[in-house]
Amino acid sequence: MPEQLKHELSLCHRELRAIYDLDALRDTTDSTETFLNGCATIIRGVLQPDLLQLITLDLEDCPAQNITIERWRPNDAAGLMLALTNALAGGETTSLQEGDAEIIVRSLSVKGERLGVLVLGSADHHWSVDDRRLIDAMCSQIDSAMAGLRLFQQVQSRNRELETIYRLDRLIDATPDFDQGLGAALGLLSETIGATWSFIMLYTAEEHELEFRAASHDDLADPNSQVSQVLRDLARNTVDQGKMVRREQIDQTIGSYIGVPLILKNQIIGVFGGANPPGMRGFSIHEVKMLNAIASQMDTALFEDRQQRHIRETFARYVSPDVVDLMLRTPGNDYMNVHRQQLSMLFSDMRGFTTVSEQLPADVVARMLNEHLSAMTTIIRNAGGTVDKFVGDEIVAFFGAPLPYEQHPLLAVQTALLMQTRHTQLMDEWQSQGLPAVAIGIGIASGEVVVGNIGSAQMMNYTAIGPDMNLAARLCSAALPNQILVSQATYDAVQQHVQAVPVAPLSLRHISQLVQAYSIEAVLSTKA
């Protein structure tokens, strides 16, 4: 066999052996670090370099690696550093020669995307053509294997993110208390990014200053603590940046810091972050991604969802579930805010029920009252009205809030007629059971009132107050059994749609002037 052919076969065998070993390594590991260490071992066995470096870039889900095997150092360290920089930044492959010594700096990339660089140095000879061919063959395997590992680690990272988000949701669902929810989220943060100190800072109610609302160590809340002071400054910087901040080698107190702003409805409401002391490692790209995933989920799960839950829990007793759902689908409204608004107020009362109740057993009184209140509440809520409160057998409701409705006077009148009809049915049922028929009187007034969540720290109610609220109550007191009395303002708004009879001017309690009212007989039209 010709010597040239033998040489070619030997070279092919060496290439195939190296490629096979690299391929086997690729099939048996899913760790970038383990793979690169294995590559270094295979390259050393094949080429026996005096200097070997495998350097990878800090890529998404793949932290930077630097594996160095050094038996010889080149004299031109500056030239080698420049070659490394060009290979990492620009994808250039360079050969550096110092007498008999030679260093090859080869870029590692796939489809133009740079992954890292391989450095091979020989102290006593130049690399041959055969060596360069082998280097190219091995690098092509290393390139593709690194790209595959990167993809695999990206999938793993996404799975970890999803698992973490799922755990956060379960933790928050299991801790309805807001501060406990903050603590649960903080514990998950500390576990995920491995921070010595972790914290959640939120703006105070006046929105003037950030304050620690949850912290891994009690001394972080101490304004005199040096760690606390540095973290406060870093948190303010995170707010100023308006994006994730990652810093290292900060000072003698904090070695590394990572923080992300908490954003709700396009407004920064706080900072979620962690830090390590000097001498400890910084935070990797993977930990950056996990922090962003937790923070973005916490924005909604802990703040917005709890805000929606608060709206649902608050208004579920006042309005129908359909109205609550519509409120939650209508962003930008602060339903708890106290404000002035045009509404129609309705008061309903069972005439003489107090006297009747004194003559009946308590369980019968309770049953009659529950049947009446339940039936009237259903009608009001189904009509889109808000049940304000019960005062004994009196029902207080209003129309036009929390969701605005332009035709609230007509809606209130329609609802009152439905209430009268349903209560008449109840009276028939009571009479068939030998119980007294207790009719209702209804008063309605329309005008500007103050509406919102009103009360004290111990008890808050979504209610309305104002002169027209009082007028509706006085009209209810003046209404005869089975009568609906409306104010002048209400009548002016609905007169084209109802049949009504003016009553003699009324002298009402705590109202200095006579009041003109109208008795509603029927609704002629529901269209404005």
Give yes or no for residue 439 having a pLDDT over 50: yes
Indicate whether 160 belongs to any domain: no
Indicate whether 320 belongs to any domain: no
Give yes or no for residue 403 having a pLDDT over 60: yes
Flag the least confident range among 245-259, 297-311, 418-432: 297-311
Q: Is 518 exposed, middle or buried (0-12, 13-18, 19+ CB in 10 A)?
A: buried
What token pair was written down for 496?
Answer: 């084209």
Q: What is the DSSP string of 469-492?
A: HHHHHHHHHHPPTT-EEEEHHHHH
Q: What is the DSSP string of 101-152?
A: EEEEEEEEEETTEEEEEEEEEESSSPPPHHHHHHHHHHHHHHHHHHHHHHHH
What is the CA 153 to chain-centroid distance, rounded?
26
Indicate whether 317 belongs to any domain: no
Of 244, 278, 311, the residue at which a domain comes to its end is 311
Number of separate domains in the chain: 3
| Domain of residue 226, CATH code | 3.30.450.40
Give yes or no for residue 333 having a pLDDT over 70: no
Cα torsion 84, 88, 94, 100: sign: positive
Cα torsion 402, 405, 406, 412: sign: negative
Q: What angle is formed at CA 187 by the lines to CA 183 and CA 193, rounded to 5 degrees?
A: 140
Give yes or no for residue 505 having a pLDDT over 90: yes
Residue 18 is part of which domain span?
Answer: 3-154
Q: What proportions of the chain, in percent to the nearest 5, are helix, strand and coil?
A: 45, 25, 25
Q: Is 315 exposed, middle or buried (0-12, 13-18, 19+ CB in 10 A)?
A: buried
Indicate whether 214 belongs to any domain: yes
Flag the least confident range among 22-36, 104-118, 207-221, 473-487: 207-221
Round to whole Å and give the CA distance between 463 and 78.
77
Same domain, 342 and 486: yes
Same domain, 128 and 225: no
Q: Packing angle between helix 3-28 and helix 32-47, nearest 10 degrees?
A: 160
Same domain, 253 and 148: no
CA-atom Rg of the chain in angstroms: 39
| Higher pLDDT, residue 286 or 176 | 286
Q: Cβ atoms within 10 A of the Cβ of 485, count?
A: 29
| Higher pLDDT, residue 79 or 152 | 79
Of 284, 311, 338, the residue at which a domain comes to its end is 311
Same domain, 212 and 135: no
DSSP 8-state code for residue 365: H
Round to whole Å and give the CA distance between 392 and 375.
15
| Domain of residue 478, CATH code | 3.30.70.1230
Give yes or no for residue 200 having a pLDDT over 70: yes
**In the predicted model, what is the mean pLDDT of the chain?**
84
Q: Tell me what percent of the residues of the chain surpass a pLDDT of 70.
A: 86
What is the length of the chain? 528
Query: Bridge partners of 30?
Result: none
Most confident of 114-118, 273-277, 369-373: 369-373
Round to whole Å and give the CA distance between 82 and 89.
10
Same domain, 200 and 131: no
Flag the least confident range among 62-76, 209-223, 287-301, 397-411: 287-301
**Model confidence, pTM:** 0.48
Indicate whether 429 belongs to any domain: yes
Same domain, 394 and 460: yes
What token pair was written down for 118?
Answer: 């391989």
Indicate whether 519 belongs to any domain: yes
Same domain, 305 and 331: no
Round to whole Å and give the CA distance between 214 and 200.
5
